[in-house]
Amino acid sequence: MEITAELISIALCTYNGEAYLAEQLLSLTRQTYKNIEIVIVDDSSSDHTVSIIRNFQAADSRIKLYCNEQNLGFNANFKKAISLCTAKYVAIADQDDIWMEDKLSIMMAKIGDNLLCYHNSAYINDQGTVSGKSTLSAHRFTEGFCSNLLVLNNCVSGHACLIRKELLDQASPFPQDLYYDWWLSYTAACQGRITFTTETLVHYRLHNNSITRADKKHSKALRIQNFRYFRDHSLTPPNVSLFLSSLLYQYKKSESRFFSLPLFTMLLKNYAVLFYTRKRSLFSNLRFIFRESIN
């Protein structure tokens, strides 16, 4: 049963996704929430991706396909897809996942006055076999005024988000080298307008060609850069801005020392905040703090 007649735009970026795309498109077109548009921007694929989309488009007029003449890269292509969405609500889709049929109905019922709502996802492998693990296996979810909990780690995945399109304007411009879902969730959290459901609404496929699998771990330099981005965000609460400024000051001072006890102490003092969203062992987090304090 549909909760509302509001149109939802589903933004889907594709690139050489023929292996799993048909299964995902089938799950999108079978949503119990019917008032949708599926905005697909293909980033100059060289396989059968576009042909698969056109076959689905012939049977479902809600699918809108745009093809880039040249490859823009994931971030630029995502921005283009979002700009082409016409609804007040936008759901982000990956090309290789599988959505539960009631995902959008549940998310629309949950989002309320929030700018962003996210959910749990079950991990599957190349063959679609459920691994028994999920987003909540590795992360703690958070909501409300929680921007301080998101400065080191992120628990929000783009494929799990339903957002109000106004959030995109508030988050603009997007930092070029920071995950867009992290930036969006932080922006919403700065205003206390982020929420979640622990319901599992997507089968999230982990395979060797996925973007997140291919991405390397953030270096210390990138973490420091992220802290600057968050500190300088126009919506960052004063207390969080002060904390980040102090943290950046200690990182700067640590450059002239082999081991920085002040940085080590500050990271340890704020352990509960910095390491809240990522479920790791105490030993693993302490080892991270120690390594972070070494120049």
- Using N-to-C axis directions, what is the helix angle for 238-254 and 261-269, rounded to 10°? 150
Tell me, what's the pLDDT at 109? 97
Indicate the range of 128-137, 142-151, 238-247 predicted with least confidence.
128-137
Average pLDDT, the chain: 94
In this predicted structure, the answer to whether residue 12 has a pLDDT above a threshold of 50 is yes
In sequence order, which ranges of the chain are alpha helices (DSSP H)? 21-29, 49-59, 74-83, 103-111, 135-138, 166-171, 180-190, 211-214, 220-232, 238-254, 261-269, 271-274, 282-292
What integer is the mean pLDDT of 36-59? 97
| Cβ partners under 8 Å of residue 267, min gap 6 | 274, 289, 292, 293
Tell me, what's the pLDDT at 214? 43
Q: What is the pLDDT of residues 121-135, one digit of tens each?
A: 999 998 889 999 999
Burial (0-12, 13-18, 19+ Cβ within 10 Å), 83: exposed
pLDDT tier at 76 (50, 70, 90 boundaries)? confident
- Tokens 């081991």, residue located: 259
Tell me, what's the pLDDT at 100? 98
Q: What are phi and psi of 65, to 5 degrees?
A: -110, 130
- Per DSSP, the residues of 79-132 read HHHHHT--SSEEEEE-TT-EE-TTHHHHHHHHHTT-SEEEEEEEEE-TT--EEE
What integer is the mean pLDDT of 72-96? 93
Tell me, what's the pLDDT at 124? 96
Q: Domain segments of the chain: what residues? A: 8-214, 220-292
Tell me, what's the pLDDT at 209? 61
CB contact burial 254-270 (16+ within 10 A = b; e otherwise)? beeeeebeebbebbeeb
The total of other beta-carbon atoms located within 10 Å of residue 66's CB is 12
Residue type, position 229, single letter: Y
Tell me, what's the pLDDT at 222? 95
- Residues 136, 198: contact at Cβ < 8 Å? yes
In this predicted structure, the answer to whether residue 117 has a pLDDT above a threshold of 90 is yes
Q: What is the pLDDT of residues 194-204, one digit of tens each?
A: 999 999 999 99
Looking at domain 8-214, does it have CATH number 3.40.50.300?
Answer: no
- Residues 134, 61: contact at Cβ < 8 Å? no
Tell me, what's the pLDDT at 208? 66
CA-nearest of 98, 53, 119 to 205 is: 98
pLDDT tier at 1 (50, 70, 90 boundaries)? very low
pLDDT tier at 210 (50, 70, 90 boundaries)? low
**Peptide bond preceding 173: is omega within 30 degrees of 0, i.e. cis?**
yes
Structure token pair of residue 134: 């999920």
Tell me, what's the pLDDT at 211? 52
In this predicted structure, the answer to whether residue 3 has a pLDDT above a threshold of 90 is no
C-alpha–C-alpha distance, residues 204 and 77, integer Å = 21
In this predicted structure, the answer to whether residue 75 has a pLDDT above a threshold of 90 is no
Structure token pair of residue 9: 């735009």
Q: Residues, the chain, total? A: 295
Q: What are phi and psi of 116, to 5 degrees?
A: -150, 135
Indicate the range of 107-116, 173-182, 271-280 predicted with least confidence.
173-182
CA-nearest of 219, 224, 284 to 253 is: 224
pTM: 0.92
Tell me, what's the pLDDT at 177? 86
In this predicted structure, the answer to whether residue 49 has a pLDDT above a threshold of 90 is yes
